[in-house]
Copies of this chain bind each other. A is one copy, B any other.
Amino acid sequence: MHAEIITIGDELLIGQVIDTNSAWMAEQLNMIGIKVVQITSISDKHDAILSALADAGNRADVILTTGGLGPTRDDITRNALCEFFSTKLVFNQEAFDNIERLFKSRNLRVTQLNREQAMIPEACTPLLNTNGTAPGMWFKKNNKVYVSMPGVPFEMKSLMSDHVLPGLKSRNTSHIEHRTILTQGVGESFLADKIINWENSLPGFIKLAYLPQPGIVRLRLTASGENEEFLKKSVNEKVEELYQLIPQYIFGEGEDTLEEITGRLLREKGLYLATAESCTGGYIAHLITSIAGSSEYFKGSVVAYSNEIKHKILGVNEETLSTHGAVSEETVKAMANGLQQSFGAECAIAVSGIAGPGGGSEDKPVGTTWIAVNTPKGQVTRKFTFGEHRGRNIRRTALAALDMLRAELLNL
């Protein structure tokens, strides 16, 4: 089964927006054994849409489009779809109810423009979009599937997960088995060196891909074939070997995040956490509180961006700050202890570092970071030397701190 992705919108063609939808969709399609043969970005133009649909239909069995479904006048995808499928727009009550529900929840009134979004091609099966006003639309033509979705990433993603992927999966017979192992704190090439013998021992039907992100390298194993049981068993065996080989780097699998895993451990052990953040500027607290229910194990944070606040709010001695500097083991120890006392939390994370681009010195170059983690077991500290990029230093510091806490919690 072959698929094509068509992304519609002038914003892609003038380079204002990077098309991240396609990569996500391609990854999801691959996971269910559907191969993507082409990704095409085109303009919000009637003729461009029609010819892209026709061309894609000559190459693929499944054609997924995103974009061009907003309420404003630059959105003409629906009319092009009507022409392509020889159908007309009709009012859809379910789509309208969904629009009304969304607007009510925001205390807004439905405008005429929004009402028009409930007009959809008669020939399609509408897919309920609980996150937005434009429904997804599933068409069939010459035994091929065409699905049109909005371009807003989270709307597209929920439509894909709830409707499109399950619908396509049921039409496909060959099996693909995936497992993705998440590692933290080790670079791609070092990791590759450590697991080279294991990698060479993989049978031909299991492929390995390295998927690096700042601070995290994902290892994805993909096996394909007819016998689902056999594929599962083979992949599981190789993953088990990997866990034996590099236990210190693996923190989770699949869609796990460090903030979720750490939160789960805190909840299980009935412990509260607080964070004292300098260089991360609240990013660790943000990651933790992005998880629903985090108030059950997170008390809060002090972002101490100035030495004055480190002293006044966290009780770090002015002498500690002047003798050792804000980025030092002594300071993060004192930050963690002061925080733990005033917040009354069993666990604490304190970080202080030079995120850059300014503020570095020969002794402490940009990227130098100290982290302290307190748990009922005691205090651990660690120094890291990250890179020169501010955003990535903030992200890496947060991941390293959460991983230190995770390791401590596992050993409680």
Is A20 within 8 A of B18, CB to CB? yes
Produce 1/0 per residue, A101-122, CB < 8 A to B: 0100111100101100000000
Asked if residues A290 and B394 are in contact (CB atoms below 8 Å), the reply is yes
Interface residues of A in 245-296 (CB under 8 A from B): 275, 277, 280-286, 288-290, 292-295
| Segment of A41-49, A79-87, A138-146, A315-323 in the binding face | A41-49
With both beta carbons as reference points, the residue of chain B lying nearest to A29 in the complex is identified as B15
Q: Of A167-175, A234-242, A301-309, A374-382, which binds chain B?
A: A301-309
Please determine whether B394 and A154 come into contact, CB atoms closer than 8 angstroms.
Answer: no
Contact of A163 with B by CB under 8 A: no
A42: B residues at CB distance < 8 A: 37-38
A165 at the interface (CB under 8 A from B): no
Q: Are B105 and A367 in contact (CB under 8 A)?
A: yes
A389 CB within 8 Å of chain B: yes
Contact assessment for A300 and B299 in the assembled complex, using a CB-CB cutoff below 8 Å: no
A96 proximal to B (CB < 8 A): no
Nearest residue, chain B, Cβ from A344 = B308
Place the interface of chain A in its size category.
35 or more
A72 at the A/B interface (Cβ < 8 Å)?
Answer: yes
Interface 9-residue window, one of A209-217, A225-233, A404-412: A209-217
A211 to B147, CA, bound (A): 22
Q: Which of A26-58 contact B (CB under 8 A)?
A: 26-28, 30, 35-44, 48, 52, 55
Contacts of A212 in B (CB 8 A): 70, 152
Bound CA span A391–B286, Å: 10
Given contacts A113-B192, A292-B356, A387-B106, contact A14 B27 (CB under 8 A): yes
Which residues of chain B have C-beta atoms less than 8 A from A106's C-beta?
367, 385-387
Closest chain-B Cβ to A218's Cβ sits at a distance in Å of 8
Please list 20 pairs of residues, one from A and one from B, whose beta carbons are closer than 8 Å in the complex, sorted by A's number. A11-B220, A16-B27, A18-B23, A37-B42, A38-B40, A70-B188, A72-B192, A74-B207, A108-B190, A275-B303, A280-B289, A281-B301, A282-B284, A282-B301, A285-B285, A289-B394, A290-B391, A292-B390, A299-B305, A300-B305
Given A71-B189, A282-B286, 15 other A-B residues pairs in contact with their CB atoms under 8 A: A14-B27, A19-B22, A19-B39, A38-B52, A72-B188, A105-B387, A106-B385, A111-B189, A113-B193, A281-B298, A295-B305, A299-B308, A300-B309, A301-B302, A313-B343
